[in-house]
Structure 1
Amino acid sequence: MTMWPDRKRFAVTLSFDLDAETAWESSSLDGRRLTLRSMGAYGRRVGVPRILELLAKYDVRAQFYIPALIAEMDPNVVRAIAEAGHGIGCHGYFHERVDEQTPEQNLRILRDSKAVLERTIGREVNHYRAPVWEITPDVISSLVELGFRTDSSLMGDDRPYLVGGEPGQLLELPVSWALDDWEQFAYSAEPAVGGVIEAPDKVLSLWTAEMEGMRAYGGHFILTMHPQLIGRPSRLLMLERLIQCIQQHDDAWWCTPDDVYEQVRKGALDLPVHPY
């Protein structure tokens, strides 16, 4: 079992992918499909302010992964997130799938998106999550080359592990489809996304059960959420109930990727090395 700081039993990270308009690819940005485009815009216009208010209420620091195009479209929302004390990570330029790009294109996207985010918030950006969690070996190598500290795209464990480089220079913060609000709440008629929009109580039950499982096994409970989805009123109230539930456990270590990386850097966590 991983020994978390202060002998905490398990770790908790709230993360948000601010895909906004880029979630719907080019069909949302051609200037005609305004309804589809507005679904994404809701996340940055309405969802993010509500989320920031909720996080401040419970003194929770979170991690936001943001496509560079969104930082160019709406730099103020990205700055508001950073100024509230939350982490910022790269999430592609236009939320493009890396497995559909060449290694050279992926490297350029990484460099460019990192530079855009750093110019926007005025500080270094060293964390990454691949769009739709599709990551390739060349991207892992490029992350190491560019000095990224963490990735959060793989699913090879329920605790952090080291991947990439020799003997493992990139810290992986693994994710799970069970802990993604997209699988629960996303819906669009065209492009066809989702089948059933789940009730918040059902999702609260699922996520609470997963949290208790991570607590039992000493894992890292990482939620992946999208402001355009979790920012809807009923769902944000559900997230608040979940935060209240977790905060009842005094053996939870609330952390960001920077917090976990710092523990690894100090040699305080004994982590496995996996090839992927």
Structure 2
Amino acid sequence: MIRNPIPWPDGARCAVAITFDMDADSILHLAHHEQANNKVMTMSMLRYDPEVAVPRLVDLFAEFGIKQTFFLPAWCIERYPATVELILKGGHEIGHHGYLHEHPNELKPEEELYWFDRSIEAIRKATGQPPRGFRAPSYRFSAKTLDFLVERGLSYDASLMGDDIPYLLDNGEGRVVELPSHYAMDDWAHFMVARDFGYMMPIKAPSHGMDVFREEFDAAWRYGGLWISVWHPMLMGRLARAAALADLIAYMKDKGGVWFAKLEDIAAHVRKVVADGSWKPRIDRLPYYPGPIPELPRKAT
């Protein structure tokens, strides 16, 4: 199924990263700047992120002895320092996720770079070091994002969906490791219900949602793939879903041959096997196109 499987450490069958995007109320302020303070129910749902869910998840990871990656908009890092400290004390990685969950591919390049750099400084201040990796808010990776990742020395990106294993992104000046996922591995499509954002997904039992993630894991385990969840504490940290997550981790551990790792460690492993010649990755040159394709006429402005 995978023509060019990557050798995982210690002969593991697959790599697993249970990543969380702690957006908290940044997304409400972005979407409803003038009315956010009056949307109290939605605010309470989003603040469940730092107040209840992240502490629960950090405890859960500690029970299983695993360390993982949390992506936080830098505004949330500044707003919720106690939660950040809890994540760091657990030995977890904090990744770059924009400043206020802004959408990079809807910004001018200079605007994108301003928020990108402002976020790096906030992460440096909170953690003592710059971020190693980036996930574009809402996956909205722009034609310039790779340039900024290369220029600022980040090691990896986790925004794209181009493979079942890691690959490299090249802009002609440098390369970053791409650690891909896909929509089926995102809890938003399975569980998000929020009238203020226009998301009204069919409500399902946690076990039904977990069927998808478990089958995705079984395929990654069978064929040597990379399993990266893109989850949100306010969704997966809810009581019944957190219990289902514990069952899923136990299932993975019982199956054996699984490398649970932070994304920074997976990226470092990729760079190692590429450097020593034991694995040759696929390389995507970005941007895929310099602009609109010439076969279709441009609309008049």
> Shorter-chain-normalised TM-score: which range?
over 0.9
Shift of 1:273: 0.9
What is the aligned counterpart of 1:68 among 66, 74, 82? 74
Using a 3 Å threshold, how does the CA distance of structure 1 residues 108 and 234 change in structure 2: closer, same or farther?
same
The DSSP-based 3-state class of the residue aligned with 2:130 is coil
Q: Check the 8 A contact 2:73/2:97 in 1, yes or no.
A: yes
1:32 maps to 38
Equivalent positions of 1:100-139 (< 5 A) are 100-139=106-145
Equivalent positions of 1:204-223 (< 5 A) are 204-223=210-229
Shift of 1:264: 2.7
Shift of 1:27: 2.1
Q: Distance in 2 between matches of 1:167 and 1:95?
A: 27
Instruction: Tell me how many residue pairs correspond in the alignment.
Output: 276
Q: Check the 8 A contact 2:189/2:201 in 1, yes or no.
A: no
What is the aligned counterpart of 1:94 among 78, 88, 100? 100
TM-score relative to the length of structure 1? 0.95
> Is the counterpart of residue 12 in structure 1 residue 16 in structure 2?
yes
Structure 1: gaps of 5 or more residues: none
Q: Deviations over 1:124-167 (max 9, x none)?
A: 31210000011012011111110011100000001010003348
> Is the counterpart of residue 80 in structure 1 residue 91 in structure 2?
no
TM-score relative to the length of structure 2? 0.88
Q: Distance in 2 between matches of 1:224 and 1:155?
A: 12
2:188 maps to 182
Using a 3 Å threshold, how does the CA distance of structure 1 residues 171 and 187 change in structure 2: closer, same or farther?
same
Q: Check the 8 A contact 1:3/1:269 in 2, yes or no.
A: yes
Q: Distance in 2 between matches of 1:191 and 1:155?
A: 24
Shift of 1:168: 5.7
Identity rate, percent: 32
Moved more, 116-125 or 23-32: 23-32
Q: Deviations over 1:182-226 (max 9, x none)?
A: 111111122311331221111111111000111122110001110
Structure 2: gaps of 5 or more residues: 287-301
Equivalent positions of 1:149-164 (< 5 A) are 149-164=155-170
> Is the counterpart of residue 273 in structure 1 residue 283 in structure 2?
yes
Q: Distance in 2 between matches of 1:195 and 1:259?
A: 34
Q: Distance in 2 between matches of 1:218 and 1:179?
A: 17
Runs of 4+ in 1 over 4 A off after TM superposition: none
2:292 maps to none
> Is the counterpart of residue 141 in structure 1 residue 147 in structure 2?
yes
Letter in structure 2 aligned against 1:4: W
RMSD: 1.5
Q: Check the 8 A contact 1:18/1:67 in 2, yes or no.
A: yes
Shift of 1:5: 1.1
